[in-house]
Amino acid sequence: MAGTRTQADAAREAVVEAALGRLGLDAKARLLSGQDTWTLPALAEIGLKSLVMSDGPIGVRGVHWTADDPSVALPSPTALAAAWDPALARRAGALLAQEARRKGVHVLLAPTVNLHRSPLGGRHFEAYSEDPFLTGTIGAGYVAGVQSGGVGTTVKHFVANDAETERFTVDNVVCERALRELYLAPFEIIVENAHPWGVMTAYNTVNGTTMTEHHHLVNEVLRGEWGFDGYNVSDWMAARNTVAAIEGGLDVAMPGPQTVYGDALAQAVRDGKVAEAKVDDAVRNVLRLAARVGILEGAEPAVTEYPETVDGSDLAREIARRSFVLVRNHNAALPLRPDGTVALIGAAARDARVLGGGSATVFPASVVSPLDGLTAALPDGTLTYAVGADPNTELGIADKGFELRAVCRDREGNILGSGAAPNGHIQWMGPDLPDGVTHDALHTVELTGTFTPRDTGPHTFGIKGIGAFRLTVDGTTYYDDVQRPAKDDPFATFFGAPVPHAHPELTAGRPVEVSLTHVVEFPENIPMKVVSFTLSHQEPRRDPDELIAEAVEAARNADTAVVVVATTERVESEGFDRTDLTLPGRQDDLVRAVTAANPNTVVVVNSGSPVELPWREDVAAVLLSWFPGQEGGAALADVLTGTHEPGGRLPTTWGSLTDAPVTEVVPTDGQLPYTEGAFIGYRAWERAGRIPSYPFGHGLGYTEWTYESAEVRGTTVTVRLRNSGARAGREVVQVYLAPGEPDTDRPARWLAGFAGVEAGPGESVETVVELPRRAFETWDEETGSWIFVKGSYEIQVGRSIADRRVAVTINV
């Protein structure tokens, strides 16, 4: 059961009941329906303020989707999981609560605790791991941290939203055992240990019922069995049916103002289709949340003293370096020699990809790229830079060299108002419009200003967005027509690709006038009013062979080549899955050519989730940096120069797509059967007898560890190990449980616990890891219950699932 009820809970509950009793049906139904994109309505009659929600998970965007409302950007969730440290996740959460309070946000729409089922899942960077225990443990730390700052969370997306293809409608067919042992497990661990104030139900269907209507999983399992007492909010636009949603335990339908709740819900009660008691249950959950976050008059908030103020940049940098996974370090290539020269290579080394796209997007006030970080850290004259290969085949948001503003006009062309445009991306959601502008009067938005090019040559200009546009550059109109989406996703306007329309020859340093006018439309089938479009741009493209040759030359003249390879917005984002795991563009060719010229090549992989590294045995070192957040380049310099060791361990198996045992993300006739049952990630790799490129849990530091002993006492295992290297370090001690008798129905072994230890050179250290009862249990489909599986087990302790150092057999 989740949490113990305190006196304060009981007092809050009394205020909630009293407030509920003072509300009429219409007000209650209104409270359950978004009033706009991010908020619920205030109800003055009970002293309730408007509840504000915001994405999550790596920062708090707030209610404005724009670069002029910046947020701290932490490393991607895959990175946070790679640190294998719930206490660090908790500190991340506390910082995010601080950010939320600064922005007037009461609930953070995070964390994402779906699993890395197939490596093709496009949104994996936003989830933690392929392992439910690691996911749940990191998620619990994160939730506890956010809520310690008085801000709510919505653990999402409940449940089995493990891929993006047909995400609104896909019916994931999952056996109960896989649901319990894998997909529900992180939610269960978090509910039990961190008592979240919210859950977000997913777009997808599970076993024939869409998740916003899933009575069994929401009412019976989440609330009934686990005792969840928070609110259940739909994913954005996921709620489709008034009666089925309220019966299925959905409390809040977002976003508004048009939802299946509100008037429609009140009417359903009046028509006798829904019992008013069901509405009361949902309202009670929302009022309880409001009381906890301190916006219900008369109720004491759950948190009255906030944790100490956190420096966001410092924490972002610490998490980044503790998340970097050094998967290969041949002949101790890293850390770099202090007096050596470095050739830094790669487009992402200069224009870093610090975060994944989609709803997880935030706008950091500043970003430290690898080039910035290494320039600051290395002595003058020791660093050179070359692009080498640019994987960005597509246009980016018009930014560097652009000075823009947004002018809003009515149908007659009169100016209604104008807004700031820090770059070429406009996204005004709901009431978030420039002063003096209303949705009713607004007809066009013109992004207008100047562009001063860095380079001479053919520049490309394009448009991302849906509807009518006119694009003019330097006095020539290149496009005056209507763009329509290629795909029937209501979010296509946000996540679609920009379309190139103009290729003018421009001269470096000579400013030109630029204008993009958009006729706004507010389609009836989209419940929120959004103005969203982008002026896109791409600098002149250089010959790819010439770029590689330039990089090879730079590498030849340096002691070490550091190549940063990356995925792009087109490879990893929200709303679509991947089709392969290869690095985009000519990046593999680049690494091969650079390594041939200089064997002392260190490759930094800037991706949120696995990519194939076909040259991995030929290079000196491989460091995975994930999407490292705003301080990524500074953290990279810390780790490359050796002021800090890389602290990460793989939260997910890295291997080739051909070898990966579970890959399918494309539904057939709307259904995606999880045919692999309870075997995903390392469970599946081991069963298939395949060796991945890098196993689950793998990661090297800058010191060595000798495991001395493991001893089981009761439900704990005590591990003794020694730092046998030459410098202080941190180790993640991993405990796996392996059934003594081979059992084809169960994995060969699974993660049962872990602990971080620190020790100086030569020092021994002891740590105690709890063995949870659940690690010994399996879900029995016949009885519909957990069964404790008796027998002999080997407790295997080590550095990764493949590098097990000590073991002890027990009988339970």
Looking at beta carbons only, is 555 or 665 nearer to ligand BGC? Answer: 665
Interacting positions 447-506 with ligand BGC (CB under 6 A): none
Interacting positions 659-688 with ligand BGC (CB under 6 A): none
Least separation in angstroms between residue 212's CB and ligand BGC is: 12
How many Å is the maximal CA-CA distance in the chain?
Answer: 82
Q: What residues pair up with 461 in beta bridges, in sequence order?
A: 502, 537
717-to-77, 730, 795 alpha-carbon distances in Å: 29, 19, 8
Binding mask of the shown chain, residues 307 to 346, with x at each position contacting ligand BGC by CB under 6 A: ----------------------------------------
Looking at beta carbons only, is 156 or 180 nearer to ligand BGC? Answer: 156
Least separation in angstroms between residue 362's CB and ligand BGC is: 12
Binding mask of the shown chain, residues 156 to 195, with x at each position contacting ligand BGC by CB under 6 A: x---------------------------------------
Q: Please select the residue that binds ligand BGC; options are 236, 402, 461, 674, rule is CB under 6 A.
A: 236
Looking at beta carbons only, is 359 or 653 nearer to ligand BGC? Answer: 359
Q: Please select the residue that binds ligand BGC; options are 107, 109, 326, 605, rule is CB under 6 A.
A: 109
Contacts of 379 (CB under 8 A, 6+ apart): none
Interacting positions 139-158 with ligand BGC (CB under 6 A): 156
Looking at beta carbons only, is 201 or 723 nearer to ligand BGC? Answer: 201
What is d(CA 160, CA 695) in angstroms, rounded to the nearest whole number?
A: 24
Least separation in angstroms between residue 36's CB and ligand BGC is: 13
CA angle 409, 410, 411 (to 5 degrees): 125
Q: What residues pair up with 733 in beta bridges, in sequence order?
A: 755
Interface with ligand BGC, residue 65, by CB under 6 A: no
Q: How many residues of this chain bind ligand BGC (CB under 6 A)?
A: 6
Q: 565, 616 in Cβ contact below 8 A?
A: no
Looking at beta carbons only, is 110 or 650 nearer to ligand BGC? Answer: 110
**CB atoms near residue 619 (< 10 Å):** 23
Least separation in angstroms between residue 236's CB and ligand BGC is: 4
Least separation in angstroms between residue 430's CB and ligand BGC is: 12
Name the residue type at position 311: D
What is d(CA 477, CA 472) in angstroms, rounded to the nearest whole number?
A: 4
Looking at beta carbons only, is 55 or 229 nearer to ligand BGC? Answer: 55
Q: 303, 147 in Cβ contact below 8 A?
A: yes
* H-helix or E-strand spanning residue 234: strand 231-234
What is d(CA 216, CA 263) in angstroms, rounded to the nearest whole number?
A: 26
Q: 98, 92 in Cβ contact below 8 A?
A: no
What is d(CA 217, CA 179) in angstroms, rounded to the nearest whole number?
A: 10
Q: Of 237, 119, 289, 80, which Cα lies nearest the Cα of 660?
A: 119
Q: 154, 107 in Cβ contact below 8 A?
A: yes
Least separation in angstroms between residue 360's CB and ligand BGC is: 7
Q: Which two tokens stand for residue 765?
A: 């250290």
Looking at beta carbons only, is 40 or 109 nearer to ligand BGC? Answer: 109
Interface with ligand BGC, residue 359, by CB under 6 A: yes
3-state secondary structure 567-602: CCCCCCCCCCCCCCCCCCCCHHHHHHHHHHHCCCEE
Least separation in angstroms between residue 128's CB and ligand BGC is: 14
Interacting positions 30-59 with ligand BGC (CB under 6 A): 55
Name the residue type at position 61: R
Looking at beta carbons only, is 126 or 351 nearer to ligand BGC? Answer: 126
Q: Which two tokens stand for residue 173?
A: 């067919």
CA angle 641, 647, 653 (to 5 degrees): 120
Q: 503, 445 in Cβ contact below 8 A?
A: no
Pick the catalytic residue: 171, 235, 372, 577? Answer: 235
Binding mask of the shown chain, residues 539 to 578, with x at each position contacting ligand BGC by CB under 6 A: ----------------------------------------
Binding mask of the shown chain, residues 360 to 389, with x at each position contacting ligand BGC by CB under 6 A: ------------------------------
Least separation in angstroms between residue 366's CB and ligand BGC is: 24
Which residue number has the CB closest to ligand BGC? 359
Interface with ligand BGC, residue 99, by CB under 6 A: no
Least separation in angstroms between residue 235's CB and ligand BGC is: 5
* Burial track 653-689 (b if 16+ CB lie within 10 A, e otherwise): bbbbbeebbbbbbebeeeebebebebbbbbbbbbeee
What is d(CA 508, CA 454) in angstroms, rounded to the nearest whole number?
A: 5
Q: Please select the residue that binds ligand BGC; options are 235, 372, 577, 676, rule is CB under 6 A.
A: 235
Looking at beta carbons only, is 109 or 327 nearer to ligand BGC? Answer: 109
235 catalytically annotated:
yes
What is the torsion angle, in degrees rounded to the nearest 10, for the CA atoms of residue 392, residue 398, residue 401 and residue 404?
Answer: 180
**CB atoms near residue 524 (< 10 Å):** 6
Catalytic residue ranges: 235
Residues of this chain that bind ligand BGC (CB under 6 A):
55, 109, 156, 235-236, 359
